[in-house]
Amino acid sequence: MLTTEQLEQEKDLDVPSGPQCPLSAGRRKNLEFEPLSTTALILEDRPANLPAKSVEETQRHKMEYEEMVAGAKRRELKEAQRKKRQMKERHRQEDSISNAMVIWNTEILPHWDTMKGTRRVRELWWQGLPPSVRGRVWSLAIGNELNITPELYEIFLSRAKEKWRSYSETSSVNDNESDGGASLADRESSLDLIKLDISRTFPTLFIFQKGGPYHDLLHSVLGAYTCYRPDIGYVQGMSFIAAVLILNLEEAEAFITFANLLNKPCQMAFFRVDHDLMLKYFAAFEIFFEENLPRLFGHFQDNNLTPDLYLIDWIFTLYSKSLPLDVACRVWDVFCRDGEESLFRTGLGILRLYEDVLLQMDFIHIAQFLTRLPEDLQSHTLFNAMASTHMISRNRRWAQVFSALMKDGNKESDKNSSPALRS
């Protein structure tokens, strides 16, 4: 059996692997040129043991071949035009990014507090942040309500490194020992999960896996966080959020932004697995889902496909696992501008974008599709779908709808816990 290498060598040398056909030269003797591909075989004479072509058939084959060649030329021209448009669009985008970078650096960032809420800045924000200022804008928009300093990060990183050393050196520690509400078993589990999850974080980039340039950095940020918030520890999905921040910020700033981001109400509800709060978020999402996409909403209902089956993964990783990285960064841009509402608007945008496809699918195929979205998804198509998604229900915005659901839940809770009902 020939190996792949041998086959490639034969192909490169143009040596046929089977017996050569002695009729080949004879069939081509009447041609005025050497055929450049198998397409031209239609012009050749038939073998001597078969009836010869008629003049009409020969003429027809010649016309068919000319049409094939013309078709190939048309395809080549179309491809060349496509590449030219692509290049033109790339240059336009580069110019746009360059111009936007100047505006952000000279007009917006130096006057952040007064400029961030203006209509002009919000429109620029929606169009996508220039990569060179993205991390800085994210950091400013997320803020630092926790007042974490780089020095504090170093303290928790030192604690994490000490724990890693002690866990690797000995296992004879009291299993009942606690640290800020987390048992030793929980902390060891968190550290093991960090190692496992890092290996699965953006695997196609090969930069966060062991031996990659950002492996230790990601390990440090996540380890420091488990020491900073032992009550939460490490939760699967955090590695994707930390990785995106590391790609855009320096180490200490990435940790500060990471900790503050996870402290936001929506992220805290999901990472603490607060079922009651998560159900409120799902209920609010379904209100806007039904109003924006009634047909698809009904289809999901018919197939018993509930929001938790796809939203949890999207929210846990802020779409960085499900979307192409460049598209996910655009989603993060708007998340930093609009807060948690944008996360659910993004979800509705995805459903709108693929509505026709999803309407043809059953439960299993929908769940699989939404878990792994098409890799060729473009940011402009998603954002067009998001722009067509209205986040107003009965004259109430997302925050008002969610607040009303929270109040209804509190009333129901008070009702169930009243002494009269208990008696």
Residues 123, 150 within the same domain: no
DSSP, collapsed to helix, strand or coil, labels residue 272 as coil
Residues 364, 293 within the same domain: yes
CATH number reported for the structural domain that contains residue 289 in this entry: 1.10.472.80
Q: How far apart are alpha carbons 298 and 180 in whole angstroms?
A: 46
Degrees (nearest 5) of the Cα angle 326, 332, 334? Answer: 115
80 located within any domain: yes
Q: How far apart are alpha carbons 314 and 321 in whole angstroms?
A: 8
Range of the domain at 67: 55-127
Residues 258, 272 within the same domain: no
**The two structure tokens encoding residue 397:** 């915005």
**The two structure tokens encoding residue 35:** 């055929």
113 located within any domain: yes
Residues 307, 288 within the same domain: yes
What pLDDT sits at residue 25?
42
What pLDDT sits at residue 411?
64
12 located within any domain: no
Count of C-beta atoms within a 10 Å radius of residue 107: 13
23 located within any domain: no
**The two structure tokens encoding residue 285:** 């999402």
Residues 403, 317 within the same domain: yes
Say what angle helices 325-338 and 340-353 make with each other, to 10 degrees.
140
Residues 153, 259 within the same domain: yes
Residues 61, 190 within the same domain: no
Q: Which helix (H) or strand (E) holds 296?
A: helix 294-302
Residues 229, 273 within the same domain: no
CA 54 to chain centre: 60
Residues 352, 258 within the same domain: no
What pLDDT sits at residue 378?
93
Residues 322, 398 within the same domain: yes
Q: What backbone phi and psi angles, to 5 degrees, belong to 17?
A: -80, -15
Closest-CA residue to 229 (of 267, 277, 195, 181): 181
Residues 207, 343 within the same domain: no
Q: How far apart are alpha carbons 118 and 250 in whole angstroms?
A: 28
Say what angle helices 340-353 and 398-417 make with each other, to 10 degrees.
110
Q: How far apart are alpha carbons 336 and 345 in whole angstroms?
A: 13
Which residues, 6 or more positions from 251, have their beta carbon under 8 angstroms from its beta carbon? 153, 217, 220, 221
Q: Which of 218, 240, 263 is the last residue of a domain?
A: 263
391 located within any domain: yes
Which residues, 6 or more positions from 277, have their beta carbon under 8 angstroms from its beta carbon? 269
Number of independent structural domains in the chain: 3
**b or e along 186-207 (b: 16 or more beta carbons within 10 Å of the residue's beta carbon)?**
bbbebbebbeebbeebbeeeeb
46 located within any domain: no
Per-residue pLDDT of the chain (423 residues; tens, 9 = 90+): 434 444 344 444 444 444 444 434 444 444 444 444 555 666 677 787 788 878 888 888 888 888 888 888 999 999 998 888 888 877 877 788 889 999 999 999 999 999 999 999 999 999 999 999 999 999 999 999 999 999 999 999 999 998 888 877 655 444 444 444 445 455 555 777 898 899 899 999 999 999 999 999 999 999 999 999 999 999 989 999 999 999 999 999 999 999 999 999 999 999 999 999 999 999 999 999 999 999 999 999 999 999 999 999 999 999 999 999 999 999 999 999 999 999 999 999 999 999 999 999 999 999 999 998 999 999 999 999 999 999 999 999 999 999 999 988 766 655 554 444 343
Residues 271, 399 within the same domain: yes
Measuring CA to CA, how many Å separate 175 from each of 165, 178, 381? Answer: 17, 8, 52
6 located within any domain: no
Q: Which of 263, 290, 305 is the last residue of a domain?
A: 263
What pLDDT sits at residue 51?
84
